[in-house]
Amino acid sequence: MFTYNDQQANEKYYRKVQLPAGDLHVFAGDQLFEALDYKVFDMANNNLQIPNRLYMSYTPDVHVGVGTCIGTTAVWEAASGYVSPSIVGSDIGCGMRVHLTNLHRDDLQEVKLRRKLVKAIEKLLPAEEHARGHFSDIRLEHVLRKGLHGLPKKYIPDGYTPKKATSLTHVEHSKFAFDESHLDRLPEMYWHRSHRQLGTLGSGNHFAEIQAIEIHEDNRAIAEKWGLRDGQIIVMIHSGSRAWGGAVSQYGGSEIGKWMRRTGTGTADPRLIFAPLDSEAAAAYVHLMYSALNYAVTNRHLIAYAIREAFRDVCGSKFEMTTLYDLMHNYAWEETHGGTPMFVHRKGATRALPAQHPDNPEPYLATGHPALIPGSMGTSSYLMVGQPGGERNYYSICHGAGRIRSRSATKRLVTVDQFESSLRVGTADEIVVNQRMLESIIDESPQAYKDVDQIIESVVGAGLASVVAKCKPLASIKGV
């Protein structure tokens, strides 16, 4: 069905795949490339039929999603561009957040203490089915309109200091501005549900983990500038915009679907939804999408707030937790590349800017900002930094390990015993998990995912990014 260019044969981690509808750029080593399901190419071929000049690429964690694969970067010139809810994904603003603590791995050596900590976190970060957050005093409308700026001051423990990398609130963009008149379009039920869900993880691959880091020797200077130390305990959070993002995706998608039927636009896949940026339906979706980005960033902040309180309950008030970074991997927005405004979609793809790139927030201009890459449960996660070579992929890298098995197939294949042994249950090294019923999250076992170390090798090999630190989990909090 496809061929690839021999000229690129000298590049071990990149292939230009020539599909009938256009070129697909794939960043992956041989083994990962050859293991890809043909469906991901089928899907790319549909996506490449969306009009106007489109750059499309996959990172090695790519796998099949609805309409568009997870692991996709898709870029148009903003002036003649399209927006696609399918290339954003339904969990709008889903992403990662990492906090540094003043604890060392040795401080959490005892399994008993890790268990105590997980229990304390569970009290403040509800993880049961249909979990409700503890933040009823927050106005949802303020969060949607202003992101972190819409929070009452008590949830900003060290003041809002965007230029200070050590602030608990420091994020790349803490506020996504948009035309707020569109907010009224979403049904009342979603306002209530989203309000209740503020400060909850959600289920599936979302998690909060306590990890210990190992600094990579190649990037020790950068690690030091970021405030990382060997053996340091960090908190990593993976969550998104909960019901709000889903509602935006559904409403925006159905309006865009109407536009497609009216104009007779489409591809072979009816679930691939898209419209030109200058259409009314596309504009409404983009406005609402930004409200979901505000929700997602704030949600991760509130999860971090809850975890900070729990740590302080267990470790005392000398415990400190500062923000390293917050970074989304499901969104679309405008960026300038080579002086041209471009509309960039990332679905399961992470922006990783190199040192000196002007879009870095000021505290990270000299080093490049941290790119936060989760692994699967029980395996390592990574803190990375963009390299100049990332320019050819619009500075996009992978977003994690990437699934290789459906949830149902994983449940059939993996036993609780196997899952327990990958979490080293019963040893001094046990990764403590909040969920007692491991069968309820067995579809998240490492066997459901590609090997994150191989994914990282491809991204590094392709010259897109390099590793600053490897993060090993000590405890993991999952929702159901």
Partner DNA sequence: ATGTAC
Query: Which residues carry out catalysis?
Result: 399
The whole-angstrom separation of Cα 325 and Cα 227 is: 12
Q: Which is nearer to DNA, 54 or 92 (CB)?
A: 92
Q: How many CB atoms lie within 10 A of CB 380?
A: 20
The whole-angstrom separation of Cα 327 and Cα 119 is: 27
Provide the sign of the torsion angle of the four alpha carbons 31, 33, 38, 40, taken in this order: positive
Q: Taking the complex as a whole, how short is the minimal distance between the CB of residue 191 and DNA, in angstroms?
A: 10
Binding flag, residue 242, DNA (CB under 7 A): yes
Q: Which is nearer to DNA, 175 or 271 (CB)?
A: 271
Q: Cα 350–333–292 angle (5° rounding)?
A: 85
Q: Taking the complex as a whole, how short is the minimal distance between the CB of residue 377 and DNA, in angstroms?
A: 11
CB 234 within 8 A of CB 211: yes
Q: Taking the complex as a whole, how short is the minimal distance between the CB of residue 264 and DNA, in angstroms?
A: 22
Q: How many CB atoms lie within 10 A of CB 334?
A: 12
Binding flag, residue 205, DNA (CB under 7 A): yes
Residue of 281, 371, 278 lying closest to 79 (CA atoms): 278
Binding flag, residue 399, DNA (CB under 7 A): no
Binding flag, residue 346, DNA (CB under 7 A): no
* Range 18-22, long-range pairs (CB < 8 A, 24+ positions): 19/44, 19/45, 19/48, 20/45, 21/45, 21/46, 21/48, 21/49, 22/48, 22/54, 22/56
CB 358 within 8 A of CB 100: no
Residue of 170, 206, 308, 405 that binds DNA (CB under 7 A): 206
Residue of 25, 145, 182, 193 that binds DNA (CB under 7 A): 193
Binding flag, residue 243, DNA (CB under 7 A): yes
For helices 280-315 and 111-124, angle between their N-to-C axes, nearest 10 degrees: 130
Q: Which is nearer to DNA, 202 or 252 (CB)?
A: 202
Binding flag, residue 203, DNA (CB under 7 A): yes
Which range in 111-119, 237-245, 281-289, 310-318 contacts DNA by CB under 7 A?
237-245
Q: How many CB atoms lie within 10 A of CB 214?
A: 17
Residue of 246, 276, 390, 402 that binds DNA (CB under 7 A): 246
Residues 369-388 within binding reach of DNA (CB under 7 A): none
Q: Taking the complex as a whole, how short is the minimal distance between the CB of residue 438 and DNA, in angstroms?
A: 16
Q: Which is nearer to DNA, 63 or 170 (CB)?
A: 63
Residue of 84, 86, 197, 211 that binds DNA (CB under 7 A): 197
Q: Which is nearer to DNA, 190 or 226 (CB)?
A: 190
As given in the structure block, the two tokens for residue 428 are 């001094």
The whole-angstrom separation of Cα 207 and Cα 271 is: 28
Size of the site for DNA (CB under 7 A): 18
Q: Which is nearer to DNA, 71 or 202 (CB)?
A: 202
Residues 79-108 within binding reach of DNA (CB under 7 A): 90-91, 94
Q: Taking the complex as a whole, how short is the minimal distance between the CB of residue 196 and DNA, in angstroms?
A: 6
Which residues would be at the binding site for DNA (CB under 7 A)? 66, 90-91, 94, 130, 193, 196-197, 202-206, 240, 242-243, 246, 479
